[in-house]
Amino acid sequence: MGATGSVRCPDCWRPPLQVSWNWVIEGVPKPPFRDVDIYDIDGFEASSADVAALHKAGIRVVCYISVGSYEDWRPDAGQFPASLLGQNLDGWAGERWLDVRDISPTSPLARIMTARIDMCRAKGFDAVEFDNMDGYVNRTGFPLTAADQLAYNRFLANTAHARGLSTVLKNDLDQIDDLVDYYDMALNEECSRYDECGEYQPFIAAGKPVLHAEYGSSTAFCRADNAANINGVLFSLDLDDSVYRPCR
């Protein structure tokens, strides 16, 4: 499995362009669930029983994991060598950027992230959302290049597809053209606020859904989202299911 060629996954779930979705990272959702097509939930916090309950309700389930940051509260935190840990993530206590340059099969990073993806599969998830996929444009403490990030993000997609899991590209707008063939959907935070939603046209043209989260109190972004076939929802920044205002 190379990081340059896309691993095909004929049996992977292929969501349609228009979908309804909910994003709950703080806590694990319990019945009754919202009437949506997709729930995106924390891969570590959710159990296989939680995933099964969502499936029973006819809902597809996405496994949220961070692949670009170290989180000191995760059960596998002790597996990260100090050499992989960089600068703190601004505003996120207990998180540090990762050095993503070495993805050789026996490297610590590849082994840890492959094990996380295996966890998602073992719990019965349908897809994986990879978070913090754009370290190369942040102050990580490492000289990460766009090429380093692209190779890593392709490695992640290929690893998931090889295990029958669909893939969600999180942010990383500058590499969309190079990653759209590797990812089955995209998730963006605040592209309306920053006037960047148009960057997702390659996904839309490919018939792949774009999941768009905005925060705050206004749903003024919805008109543009609906016109562009983007699946927009207004959430609380805590992603605790306290605010859920879908555009359609």
| C-alpha 30, offset from chain centre | 21
**Number of domains forming the structure of the chain:** 1
Give the number of other Cβ atoms within 10 Å of residue 12's Cβ.
Answer: 18
Helices (H), 144-186: 146-161, 176-179
Is residue 178 a part of any domain in this protein? yes
CATH of the domain at 192: 3.20.20.70
In a domain, 146, yes or no: yes
Is 5 inside any structural domain?
A: no
Per-residue model confidence as pLDDT tens for the chain (248 residues)? 334 689 999 999 999 999 999 999 999 999 999 999 999 999 999 999 999 999 999 999 999 999 999 999 999 999 999 999 999 999 999 999 999 999 999 999 999 999 999 999 999 999 999 999 999 999 999 999 999 999 999 999 999 999 999 999 999 999 999 999 999 999 999 999 999 999 999 999 999 999 999 999 999 999 999 999 999 999 999 999 999 999 99
Model confidence over 145-201: pLDDT tens digits? 999 999 999 999 999 999 999 999 999 999 999 999 999 999 999 999 999 999 999
CA pair distance 120, 44, nearest whole angstrom? 8
Quick check: is 1 in a domain? no
Q: Which two tokens stand for residue 135?
A: 């370290």
Q: Is 31 among the domain residues? A: yes
pTM of this prediction?
0.96
What domain range is 154 assigned to? 21-246
